[in-house]
Amino acid sequence: MNFSLTEEQLMIQQAARDFAQNELLPGVIDRDEAQKFPKEQVKQMGELGFLGMMVNEKYSGSGLDTLSYVLVMEELSKVDASSSVIVSVNNSLVCWGLETYGTEEQKEKYLHRLATGQIIGAFCLSEPEAGSDATSQKTTAIDKGDHYVLNGTKNWITNGGTAEVYLVIAQTDKEKGHKGINALIVEKGTPGFEIGPKENKLGIRGSDTHSLMFTDVKVPKENRIGEDGFGFKFAMKTLAGGRIGIAAQALGIAAGAYELALQYSKVRKAFGTEICNHQAIAFKLADMHTKIQAARHLVYQAACDKDAGENYDLSGAMAKLYAAETAMEVATEAVQIHGGNGFVKEYHVERLMRDAKITQIYEGTSEIQKIVISRSILRD
Ligand SMILES: Cc1cc2nc3c(=O)[nH]c(=O)nc-3n(C[C@H](O)[C@H](O)[C@H](O)COP(=O)(O)OP(=O)(O)OC[C@H]3O[C@@H](n4cnc5c(N)ncnc54)[C@H](O)[C@@H]3O)c2cc1C
Asked whether residue 124 carries a pLDDT value surpassing 60, the answer given is yes
Residue range 198-214: mean pLDDT, rounded: 98
CB 361 less than 6 A from any atom of ligand 1? yes
Verify whether residue 164 is a known catalytic residue: no
The 3-class SS string of 160-193 reads: CCCCCEEEEEEECCHHHHHHHEEEEEEECCCCCE
- The confidence score (pLDDT) of residue 25 equals 98
For 124-169, the three-class secondary structure string (H helix, E strand, C coil) is ECCECCECCCCCCCCCEEEECCCEEEEEEEEEEEECCCCCCEEEEE
pLDDT score recorded for residue 43: 97
- Compute the mean pLDDT over every residue in the chain, rounded to the nearest whole number: 97
CA 279 to centroid of ligand 1, rounded, Å? 39
Nearest CA to ligand 1 atom 44: 367
pLDDT at res. 1 = 57
126 lines ligand 1 (CB under 6 A): yes
Ligand 1 neighbour 129 (Cβ under 6 A): no
Q: What is the pTM of this model?
A: 0.98
What percentage of the chain has pLDDT greater than the value 90?
Answer: 98
pLDDT digits (tens, 9 = 90+) for 207-258: 999 999 999 999 999 999 999 999 999 999 999 999 999 999 999 999 999 9
Ligand 1 mutation target, pool 365, 369, 371, 373, most atoms within 8 A of CB: 365
Show the 3-state SS of 276-290.
HHCHHHHHHHHHHHH
Atom of ligand 1 nearest to the CA of 199: 1
